[in-house]
Structure 1
Amino acid sequence: MGPWPRRAGPRQPWQTSHALVAIPVVLIVVITIVDLLVPEDVHLGPLLVIAPALTASFASPRTTGAIGLMAVAAQAFIGWHFGVLFSRNVMVQILAIAVLSCLIVFFCVVRERRRRQLAQVRSVAEAAQHVLLWPLPEQIGPLRIACMYLAAEDEAQIGGDLYAATRTEGGVRLMIGDVRGKGLAAIGEAALLLGAFREAAHQHTALPALAGALEKSVGRYLDDFEPEEEAGERFVTALLMEIPDHDPVTRMTSCGHLAPLLLSPGRSVTVPSLHPAPPLGVGVGPAGYTLDVFTFEAGDTLLLFTDGIVEARNQKGEFYPFAERTAQWVGASPDALLQHIRRDLLAHTGGSLADDAALVAIRRTPPPRHPHGKIIHADGFRHRAGSDKRRD
């Protein structure tokens, strides 16, 4: 199938500004004509200053200055038409319009400078945020993955919620977490945990040991950077997950995090029963973490999420019924599933969230089949459908 035809995109900002310039120009023309038609004791010329003031709200300083010159010229034309161009009253009016236009242009210049500075700061912040929270690949081994982040703060793309995935020998390890707090203030702990996970995931064979390593990293960070007034109040909930390539299971260790949803084709949404340990940062050793194992077959989808989803409220104060709403999209692809949830969640909350929210959808895909009915596995061996015997 060829590419979709391109649609006409939205009008560019400069096109919109050029179209809006017609408004102050028409305003100058109308004020000038009306001033020429009304009795001589009625003076509407001072209203011409409205034109540059209006232009400054949407146009550049140069365009605003041009409209200011037109307003001055229109006032001079009115004075010339009545033969009083060099009278004291008309000269004061022309001078007043000129001075006010210059002030408007000056403030327009200051506004544009601050706008450029803000755009540069936003660009740097967005780059830093993208480096911190790498987008997950669409396919890792036998898993199709989709992720989504909804930041509570308007100017942030990420905050205290986090997720990461890495390929290990014979499987995939994933993590989703939630730093206490929200927005940009929680990014420090999120950055630390993401870096620690990406390194420690390849050094520990068991998830409880991995959780213990992350606990030590978070503990060291809090010892060095935790404010005294928040001592003991900073922590991170996390869910560690390991999905083998060939075994239809998933292994999980919960550090105070919510259990994911398991979506199976033709069946209702279920919630695995976890044995959560306390969150990271409270001093729990590796022995305090539990490993839970659940079935995760081809075609199933695991939906990982943070509490910003289930604690989202509508105007009546009602929580978002996450599991119930998700059940209607069990058969959707990971990408489509997250888009359905996003639209439904924002509709429930009125378009904004009180807390950051992260979602990761993971679907185990069937192993690729050979044209002759054989299944090709990632380890290079081929198996007949329904058989566990390897060929020599």
Structure 2
Amino acid sequence: MTRPGEDRARPGVLPRGVCLLPFLLLAVGIVLDVGTPRDISAAACFSAAPIVAAALLSLRGTVLVGLAACAADLAVLAHHGLLTDRGAYSDWVSVATMAALAVVLNRVLHRRDMRLRSVSGIAAAVQHAVLPQPPPRIGALRIAARYEAAQTDAQLGGDLYAVQDTPYGVRCLIGDVRGKGMGAVEAVTVVLGAFRDGAHREPTLTGLAQWIEQTLLRELAQREGLDQVEDFTTAVLAEIPRPGDRVRLVNRGHPAPLLLLEGAVRPLEPSRPALPLGLAPLGTDSTPVDTVAFPQGAGLLLYTDGVTEARDMSGTFYDPVGRLTGQRLRGPDELLAVVVADVHRHTRGRIGDDMALLALTHTGPTRTTRTTRPS
């Protein structure tokens, strides 16, 4: 039984076959030394094997490869009758030295891996705290959300989503903070906090957008980590009032949501463009609210531009409308799974930007007994 952090192979980001490389080097060294004249040495293979093992295997594996390399070099010397030749031992000393260095290197890499795992774990915990999963169902709506980081070890970025059940209906937010580093993460917390507070305060979707914008502008002016020019936020606010048969949308410079119904996919473009959140001082027009039907069986997909800006090897952007047209998906979880898997196929796993996705489907009223509230 292996100890924590002492797996037979180093963290499973590499195919298992790659971990056989040290043993392959040992085998090649033995074949070369045995099959060539005695004045030709393959000690370089024996020296390389433990160094490669240090990067790929655990401490135990590295020690075993190092011992095997020293033993193989001695066996080759015996095969050529050089055990009594003092000069031939220089190769063996080199192999033994590299084996010892490999053990030290393995420990250094192990400590680095542990630090990376700790940082990744903290980042994942922060992400779950900042972007908690929405409830799977609210009334007639089934809901699912997903966050895909562009880098494997990165768990936090500028993409965001949120869902709130309010007296005015179910309100949703999808957004993308422009900016990088901790400033973007800080802006995410500001936008999400403003949305969660304002969603219950503001009776209109326009008022909610203004609430978030005013909060963001105030924080931009007060916090040194936020840039008043760079850290604006593109966003879509959606409101589905009860009984859930229509959707109100406010789009602030964000990719248009998609309405899916019976295999058809319709982009819900805004009736009039609006500036992203945080850029209100640059414009004076009020934000339009667009209302569309949301019949039973329909799905709504909100996403950030990491989806539409994903490119294949030829540079072609991913087209969610064309890729989803004709597909009849049974629920929000299946919809997100299909989209994420399709983006990975389109890019061959080389995603250049984070993706946040939020999906809702109108399934009709639940069959549970409903309690009548006093009017």
TM-score normalised by L of structure 1: 0.77
Aligned residue in 1 for 2:352: 354
The change in CA–CA distance for 1:46 and 1:264 in structure 2 (over 3 A counts) is closer
Contact 2:256–2:267 (CA under 8 A) maintained in structure 1: no
Counterparts of 2:264 and 2:285, CA distance in 1? 35
Q: 1:19 to 1:283 in 2, by over 3 A?
A: closer
- Alpha-carbon distance in 2 for matches of 1:316, 1:74: 48
Q: Aligned residue for 1:4? A: none
CA distance in 1, matches of 2:76, 2:346: 58
Q: Structure 1 pair 274/136, CA: closer, same or farther in 2 (3 Å)?
A: farther
Q: What SS class does the counterpart of residue 201 from structure 1 fall into?
A: helix
Instruction: Identify unmatched segments of 5+ residues in structure 2.
Output: 1-6
Is the 1:183–1:356 contact (alpha carbons within 8 Å) kept by the matching residues of 2?
no
Q: What displacement does 1:214 show?
A: 0.8
Task: Determine the C-alpha separation between the residues in 1 that align with 2:242 and 2:146.
Answer: 24
TM-aligned CA distance change 1:23 to 1:185, over 3 Å: farther
Match in the other structure for 1:126: 124
The AA in structure 1 aligned to 2:241 is P
CA distance in 2, matches of 1:23, 1:207: 64
Q: Tell me, yes or no, if the aligned pair for 2:139 and 2:366 is still in contact at 8 Å.
A: no
Distance 1:272 1:94, change over 3 A: closer
Residue matched to 1:72? 70
Alignment-mate amino acid for residue 333 of structure 1: G
Find the aligned partners of 2:153 and 2:37 in 1 and give their Cα distance.
54
1:59-78 CA deviation, whole Å, 9 max, x = no partner? 22343233333433444556
- Range moving further from structure 2, 186-195 or 289-298: 289-298
Kindly provide the CA deviation profile for residues 54-98 of structure 1, in whole angstroms up to 9, marking residues without a partner as x.
433422234323333343344455656777646531443443332
Contact 1:252 1:293 in 2 (8 A): yes
The match for 2:153 is 155
Which of 266, 276, 281 matches 2:278?
281
The CA deviation at 1:22 is: 5.2
Residue in 2 aligned with 1:263? Answer: 260
- What is the TM-score of this pair, normalised by structure 2? 0.80
Partner Cα distance (1:199, 1:172) in 2: 14
Among 250, 255, 269, the alignment partner of 1:253 is 250
Query: What number of residue pairs does the alignment pair up?
Result: 361
SS in 2 for 1:56: helix
What secondary structure sits across from 1:258 in the alignment? Answer: coil
CA displacement at 1:31 relative to structure 2: 6.5
What is the CA–CA distance in structure 2 between the aligned matches of 1:213 and 1:264, rounded to whole Å? 33
Cα deviation, residue 251, structure 1: 2.2
Q: Is the 8 A contact 1:175 1:238 kept in 2?
A: yes
How has the CA–CA distance of structure 1 residues 46 and 161 changed in structure 2, closer, same or farther, with 3 Å as cutoff? closer
- What RMSD in Å do the two structures reach over aligned CA positions? 3.6
Correspondence 1:139-288 to 2 at 5 A: 139-169=137-167, 171-181=169-179, 186-225=184-223, 231-246=228-243, 248-265=245-262, 269=266, 271=268, 273-283=270-280, 288=286
Q: Secondary structure at the match of 1:259?
A: coil
Deviations 1:221-258 (A, max 9, x none): 21133679x54333112222221232522222233333
C-alpha distance in 2 between matches for 1:43 and 1:175: 67
- Residue 387 of structure 1: aligned partner: none
- Residues 378/269 of structure 1: CA separation in 2 closer, same or farther (3 Å cut): farther
| Residues 177 and 257 in structure 1, CA contact (< 8 A), matched pair in contact too | yes
Structure 2 CA distance for partners of 1:231 and 1:350, relative to 1, 3 Å: same
Structure 1 residues not aligned, in runs of 5+: 1-10, 370-375, 382-392
Q: Which moved more, 1:175-184 or 1:157-166?
A: 175-184
- Deviation at residue 335 of structure 1 after TM alignment: 1.9
| Structure with the greater alpha carbon radius of gyration | 1
Is the 1:251–1:293 Cα contact (8 Å) retained in structure 2?
A: yes
Give 1:56's aligned residue.
54
Whole-Å Cα distance in 1 between the matches of residues 291 and 179 of structure 2?
30
Give the deviation of 1:186 after TM superposition: 2.3
How far off its partner does 1:40 sit? 5.8
Give the Cα–Cα distance (whole angstroms) in 2 for the partners of residues 188 and 104 of structure 1: 42
How far apart in 1 are the matches of 2:223 and 2:127? Answer: 20
- The Cα shift of 1:44 comes to 5.4
Change in Cα spacing, 1:207 to 1:379, as seen in structure 2 (3 Å) is farther
